[in-house]
Amino acid sequence: MTKDLSNTNDVNTDKTATSSAWGGRFSEATDAFVQRFTASVDFDQRMYLEDIEGSIAHATMLAKVGVLSDDEKQQIYAGLEGVRADIEQGTFEWSVELEDVHMNIESALTKRIGITGKKLHTGRSRNDQVATDIRLYVRSAIDAIAKELTRLQEGLLVVAEREAGTIMPGFTHLQTAQPVTFGHHLMAWFEMLSRDFDRFMDCRQRLNQSPLGAAALAGTTYPIDRDYTADLLGFERPTANSLDSVSDRDFAIEFCSAASVLLMHLSRASEELILWTSAQFDFIDLPDRFCTGSSIMPQKKNPDVPELVRGKTGRVYGNLTSLLTLMKSQPLAYNKDNQEDKEPLFDTIDTVRDCLRAFADMIPAIQAKKDNMYQAAKKGFSTATDLADYLVRKGIAFRDSHEIVGKSVAYGIEQNKDLSEMTLAELQQFSTTIEQDVFDVLTLEGSVAARNHIGGTAPKQVKAAVDNAKQLLAARS
Ligand code: ARG
């Protein structure tokens, strides 16, 4: 039982001024430049699947509430299916005159199925339509990002487990501080990425509400069923306020914010990879396939992939700033400004996906140069704290033991000797409390093994951390 609410049969389509979807009240055609200036089709066509999915849900709901007949609904399904096929086969002709992805698809639908196509927009506006499309698009981007993040974390676990006992210098101020294990260092990256994962999931959960039905800004007079369309599109519920629904872009900002923190983390890891591959550190080797050479210096092997990831962090921060600035001071409800949300958002999605892919491919291929790491850890008096702790265990107050060790280090610098390379007699110059057993704590192995508590660098703890992490990842799937 269908009422012809859109009354489209009566429209005089023989317009001379403009044939656009909103041309009715206009008496001259849009300026050609303005048409190009205001169009978004060049960049929003990538949401064609979400747009079609949203339209199918809308048509299904309109038929359920009796605004469309079942036959009209079926025509719309078939027509949209045809449009999708055309787009995917590359035969669809995108037109700037039709402004955006929404009107391009609607117009193609009408060309295919005639007047029924014109009924699809009943009870809907491009304002709620675009809000719905972007939410759907970001939601599936988050799902793809979550998979890639997990793949990267799995790769980290493989290397961390393998290198749980590999000793390297740990740094503060980029000065040798205390020995750590390479596995422990990689598990620090793992923790950063776990927080990133949670941030994206948090963003996903908050964005997962359906703006469809908010129409232009105030809702619609048709007897729509917003719970139903929300459900059809996999949203948790309809959004609560129609004005907010069409103007809200918080989810895009939250997404770009989560992306910025992620890229900040990847830039830090990149920086370390770049340092470690340098001749000065020489801690790791990256396979040739992740590096490039120099056109002038034949000896060079440059860590381009981490460098580029570090560099791309800048555009992701920039995109976040763009979106925050775009939304600043905007009055309710929809404003054309909002069309500017897409390029920064899409660029962020593409950049995050590419960077994660590069990292997920690269990390498991890292080769640790264990001997170089070990030798570096031996330099820089990295077991000085262990000597201080040893003296405290023998009854000396920490501040005094700090002083004793400081003097020992000064002597070591002068003699060019690590603490572990000094004789007992040399060490005893600074404290007679020092005995033969000091050498147990002055070794790198002893130093890392002694930090044997939750979150510590002892190989045993690194293995435990890897086991916990495996369980965390298993619970995601
Ligand atoms: N292309 C527009 C956008 O991306 C779609 C919504 C346009 N709505 C309007 N009333 N002009 O935001």
Gap between the Cα atoms of 139 and 314, Å rounded: 24
Residue whose token pair is 């390479």:
182
For every residue of 99-127, DSSP letters joined together read -SHHHHHHHHHHHHHGGGGGGTTTT--HH
Give the separation between CA 87 and CA 108, rounded to whole angstroms: 11
Cis upstream peptide for 333 (omega within 30°): yes
* Tokens at 376, concatenated: 């570096």
SS3 257: helix
Per-residue b/e over 256-282, b at no fewer than 16 CB within 10 Å? bbbbbbbbebbbebbebbbbbbeeebe
Residue keyed to tokens 């990267």: 152
Q: How many CA atoms lie within 13 A of 335 on its CB side?
A: 10
Q: Is the dihedral of CA 67, 69, 75, 78 positive or negative?
A: positive
Closest CA to 136 of 199, 49, 242, 62: 49
Atom of ligand 1 nearest to the CA of 342: 4
Amino acid occupying residue 217: L
In the structure encoding, which two tokens stand for residue 317, read together?
């921060």
Does 294 participate in catalysis according to the annotation? yes
Q: Is 278 a catalytic residue?
A: no
Q: Among residues 282, 431, 362, 342, which one has the least CA distance to residue 42?
A: 342
pLDDT at residue number 19: 66
Q: Which stretches of the chain score pLDDT less than 70?
A: 1-19
Choose the catalytic residue: 173, 295, 329, 453: 173
For residue 447, what are the contacts with CB-CB under 8 A and spacing of at least 6? 178, 179, 382, 383, 386, 441
Residue 102 φ/ψ, nearest 5 degrees: -65, -50
Best CA proximity match to 438, nearest among 383, 475, 367: 383
Distance of CA 116 to the CA centre of its chain: 41
Name the 3-class secondary structure at 217. Answer: coil
Residues contacting ligand 1 via CB (< 6 Å) = 40, 44, 100, 126-127, 130, 334, 336, 338-339
Q: Can you give the pLDDT at residue 17?
A: 52
Ligand 1 centroid – CA 260 distance (Å): 27
Please give the distance, rounded to the nearest whole angstrom, from the Cα atom of residue 336 to the centre of ligand 1: 6
Query: What are 441-447's contacts with CB under 8 Å, separation 24+?
Result: 441/383, 441/386, 441/387, 441/389, 441/390, 442/383, 442/386, 442/387, 443/383, 444/167, 444/179, 444/374, 444/377, 444/378, 444/382, 444/383, 445/167, 446/386, 447/178, 447/179, 447/382, 447/383, 447/386
- Per the DSSP assignment, residues forming a β-bridge with 178 are 170
Ligand 1 test: best mutation among 100, 247, 346, most atoms within 8 Å of CB?
100
User: 162-197 pLDDT, tens per residue?
Assistant: 999 999 999 999 999 999 999 999 999 999 999 999
Strands (E), 200-273: 209-210, 237-238
| pLDDT value of position 1 | 39
Nearest CA residue ID for atom 2, ligand 1: 339
